[in-house]
Amino acid sequence: MVSRIFSILKGEFFMSLFEQINKDYVTAYKAKDTQRVSVLRMLKASVKNRLVDLCRPGGTLTDEEMMDVILKEGKQRRDSIAEYEKAGRQDLADKENAELVILETYLPKPLTDEELAGVIEKTIAETGASSPKEMGKVMNAIMQGYKGRVDGKKLSQAVRTRLSR
């Protein structure tokens, strides 16, 4: 019991995303998991670049800022996969896909189609949107409230379809 209280005081149960990635990097490095080390090293470099952009070198990012960095890296992987597949380079597409799988472990679980439909209906009711011209209000509200859990293209199509009825 005392050790559990000590762990809570040390913050082990409330580890930030930034701390979790650093911890996972060390674990992967010790386990000689070269692919995970490579992806986490790239992610750590992106984090440092973001910290410099924010004029906080040597600091840390909040979980929301970390999620933005991970989402950006994931989007880059998805774009690369599409380009490699279009060019017939399945070997490189597979490598990018494996990196994407590792990155996605740090993101929240995406909404299912049913959950997304419910969120769209609720947001349309809250915003009072009634035509495709007001799609931006609905999109912004959902993207802010469900950051990292909704694919923008999928959401855009679903909102457009719903508001066109």
Whole-number pLDDT of residue 53:
92
Whole-number pLDDT of residue 7:
43
Q: Could you give the angle at the alpha carbon of 70 between the alpha carbons of 19 and 37, nearest 5°?
A: 60
> How deeply is 156 buried, as exposed, middle or buried, from its count of CB atoms within 10 A (0-12, 13-18, 19+)?
middle
* Reported pTM: 0.76
The tens place of each residue's pLDDT in the chain, 165 residues long, gives 333 344 444 545 568 898 999 999 999 999 999 999 999 999 999 999 999 999 988 888 888 899 999 999 999 999 999 999 999 999 999 999 999 999 999 988 888 889 998 999 999 889 888 888 888 898 999 988 888 888 888 888 989 988 887
DSSP 8-state class, residue 128: T
Q: Measure the CA–CA gap between 37 and 105, rounded to whole angstroms.
A: 14
Whole-number pLDDT of residue 3:
39
Whole-number pLDDT of residue 152:
84
Q: Measure the CA–CA gap between 2 and 107, rounded to whole angstroms.
A: 32
Per-residue DSSP letters for 6-67? HHHHHTGGG--HHHHHHHHHHHHHHTT-HHHHHHHHHHHHHHHHHHHHTT-TT----HHHHH
Q: Measure the CA–CA gap between 148 and 65, rounded to whole angstroms.
A: 11
Whole-number pLDDT of residue 99:
96
Whole-number pLDDT of residue 14:
67
